Amino acid sequence: MLSAGSCGRKRLILPAFLAAVLLLSGCGKGSGGADGPPDTLQDRGEETTELSSSLSGSGKEEETGGKEKPRTDFHMNEEPIAVNRGEQLTIGFSQIGAESDWRLASSASMEQVFTSDNGYNLIFSDAQQKQENQIKAIREFIGQDVDYIILDPMTEYGWDSSLQEARDAGIPVIIVDREVKVEDEDLYAVWAGSDFRLEGDRACAWLEAYLETLPAMKDQKIGIVDVQGTLDASAQIGRSEAVREAVKKHENWELLDVECGDFVQAKGREVMEQMLRDYGSRINVVYCENDNMAYGVLEALENAGMKAGGDLASGEVLVISFDAARQGLEKTLQGEIAVDTECNPLYGPILSRIIMALEQGDELPKRNYFEEKQFSSLGTVTETTVNGSAYPVVLLTEELIQNREY
Ligand code: GYE
């Protein structure tokens, strides 16, 4: 069955079987390794690595067994692009659409890297937010006999047959950003993307720490609404799970409502307007699953005469966001977004390195996570802890935004 992959249906609680699948497949909360990098990366019983450490150069990767320490100075776009000096390689890339700043940045990154000067011929296919278009694109890539297929899957399920067709045609598939859940993991070569559950956990850990700095809010009810991304997309699943679990751990936190905004600004505004009508000043925190929806949420708050900010005791509404795109960070600097957890869209360079490694016949870890940051201009929380691991909160400055690549 193809998933509509938008806001077609509302699901607050994961069906038990799906939760079990996610847990088994390592999508649940990581346990945090004693000798590994912060949380989730190596303790999922799978071969994983930080992209920054194992694939950062050309040439053969060292045998890391997924245990190598991640670099902490990592910045995706400064990582080298692997130029193909052999015969030109044709890459079919199925992109989801153009729904967000994040998505535009990821498309731009692909187009910058996979150029003919670098030895590639990129066939870019925009699915316009429809999974069936992505499946069609995969079939077209097979018909064109491309050398590699790169798929950023809109939703997690529904890929088995098209990926099987690619395999039958002998075309390696690389999954990027969101994940696929397929019966046979050999249907794709490598996945590279973000740890969405960890992003959500870090956002909730920040909220917990921030609320502790507000004595007036101690023991007060904290009304939270979740503006979700596209349903069944990995980014939605991980981020939504995180807030649901965090609410369970805090007696005074209440999840008032969960509505899908499909990762787009207009929809974010629309669902926020409705939630403001339904819950009004009971909403203290808006947990918004990407920046573009947060822009819409901020518009809705302003239109309702409400102020976004961190002063909950005087009625401000605290907005949490993800991606940390430039405009999101500007709003974070102004204090309208309280905390913005980074999600890195600049995956062109790493994909070129993955392809060159596959060309050389290197063994690659199946799952590869980006390292990410978290930004706030409310300087009271400088660090968060998730599963026993500490993560810094970057105090935002204008200069940081100026140097931002997306
Ligand atoms: O957060 C959102 C985009 O899959 C991580 O999709 C991506 C998400 C990102 O539209 O802005």
Identify which has the larger pLDDT, 103 or 24. 103
Rounded-to-integer distance, Cα 354 and Cα 310, Å:
42
Most ligand 1 atoms within 8 A of CB, residue of 197, 263, 265, 406 to mutate = 263
Query: Is-contact 393 381, C-beta < 8 A?
Result: yes
Query: Is-contact 387 31, C-beta < 8 A?
Result: yes
The answer on pLDDT for 32 being more than 80 is no
Q: For residue range 135-188, list pLDDT tens digits in order.
A: 999 999 999 999 999 999 999 999 999 999 999 999 999 999 999 999 999 999
Whose structure tokens read 């079990």? 20
Mean pLDDT of 357-376: 91
Most ligand 1 atoms within 8 A of CB, residue of 6, 76, 100, 110 to mutate = 100
Rounded-to-integer distance, Cα 250 and Cα 226, Å:
16
Q: For residue range 224-271, list pLDDT tens digits in order.
A: 999 999 999 999 999 999 999 999 999 999 999 999 999 999 999 999
Mean pLDDT of 110-123: 98
Around ligand 1, the residues with Cβ closer than 6 Å are 99-100, 102-103, 177-178, 233, 235, 263, 290, 322-323, 343
Query: Is-contact 273 280, C-beta < 8 A?
Result: no
For residue 363, name the pLDDT band (cuts at 50, 70, 90). confident
The answer on pLDDT for 328 being more than 50 is yes
Q: For residue range 33-48, list pLDDT tens digits in order.
A: 333 333 333 333 445 5
Mean pLDDT of 368-377: 94
Instruction: For residue 336, give both structure tokens.
Output: 């309208």
Rounded-to-integer distance, Cα 36 and Cα 155, Å:
29
User: Residue 59 C-alpha to ligand 1 middle, in angstroms?
Assistant: 31
Can you give the pLDDT at residue 245? 98
Rounded-to-integer distance, Cα 303 and Cα 269, Å:
10
5: left (phi over 0), alpha (psi -120 to 50) or beta: left
Instruction: For residue 230, give both structure tokens.
Output: 């596209």
For residue 398, name the pLDDT band (cuts at 50, 70, 90). very high
Query: Is-contact 99 67, C-beta < 8 A?
Result: no
The answer on pLDDT for 70 being more than 50 is no
- Hey, which residues does 50 pair with through a beta bridge? 369
The answer on pLDDT for 114 being more than 80 is yes
The amino acid that residue 229 corresponds to is G
Rounded-to-integer distance, Cα 49 and Cα 76, Å:
15
Can you give the pLDDT at residue 78? 52
- Least confident among 14-28, 233-247, 265-279, 334-348: 14-28
User: Residue 267 C-alpha to ligand 1 middle, in angstroms?
Assistant: 14
User: Residue 236 C-alpha to ligand 1 middle, in angstroms?
Assistant: 8
- Least confident among 3-7, 66-70, 101-105: 66-70
Query: Going by CA atoms, what residue is nearest to atom 5 of ligand 1?
Result: 235
Rounded-to-integer distance, Cα 358 and Cα 147, Å:
11
Query: Going by CA atoms, what residue is nearest to atom 8 of ligand 1?
Result: 235
Can you give the pLDDT at residue 49? 54
- What stretch(es) of the chain map to CATH 3.40.50.2300? 4-193+345-372, 197-343+375-403
Identify which has the larger pLDDT, 80 or 55. 80
Rounded-to-integer distance, Cα 371 and Cα 38, Å:
10
Decide which of 3.40.50.10810, 3.40.190.290, 3.20.20.70, 3.40.50.2300 is the CATH code for 197-343+375-403. Answer: 3.40.50.2300
Identify which has the larger pLDDT, 213 or 2. 213
The pTM of this model reads: 0.85
Instruction: For residue 171, give both structure tokens.
Output: 């075309």
SS3 state at 145: coil
186 HSE (CA, 13 A, CB side): 3
CATH number of 4-193+345-372: 3.40.50.2300
* Residue count (the chain): 406
Can you give the pLDDT at residue 48? 57
User: Residue 235 C-alpha to ligand 1 middle, in angstroms?
Assistant: 6
Can you give the pLDDT at residue 3? 40
Count Cβ neighbours within 10 Å for each residue of 132-160 and write b for 16 or more, e otherwise: ebbbebbeebbeeebbbbbbbbbbbbbbe
Helices (H), 225-347: 234-249, 265-279, 291-303, 326-333
The answer on pLDDT for 374 being more than 90 is yes
SS3 state at 48: strand
192: left (phi over 0), alpha (psi -120 to 50) or beta: beta
Query: Is-contact 100 264, C-beta < 8 A?
Result: yes
Rounded-to-integer distance, Cα 370 and Cα 234, Å:
15
Rounded-to-integer distance, Cα 380 and Cα 206, Å:
10
User: Residue 365 C-alpha to ligand 1 middle, in angstroms?
Assistant: 23
For residue 218, name the pLDDT band (cuts at 50, 70, 90). confident
Task: Give the distance from CA 383 to its chain's centroid.
Answer: 21
SS3 state at 127: coil
The answer on pLDDT for 283 being more than 70 is yes
For residue 219, name the pLDDT band (cuts at 50, 70, 90). confident
Can you give the pLDDT at residue 6? 75
Can you give the pLDDT at residue 395? 97
The sign one gets for the Cα dihedral 352, 357, 361, 364 is negative
Atom of ligand 1 nearest to the CA of 233: 4
Helices (H), 158-264: 160-168, 196-212, 234-249
- Least confident among 10-24, 72-86, 169-183, 194-208: 10-24
% pLDDT > 90, the chain:
76
Rounded-to-integer distance, Cα 59 and Cα 243, Å:
41
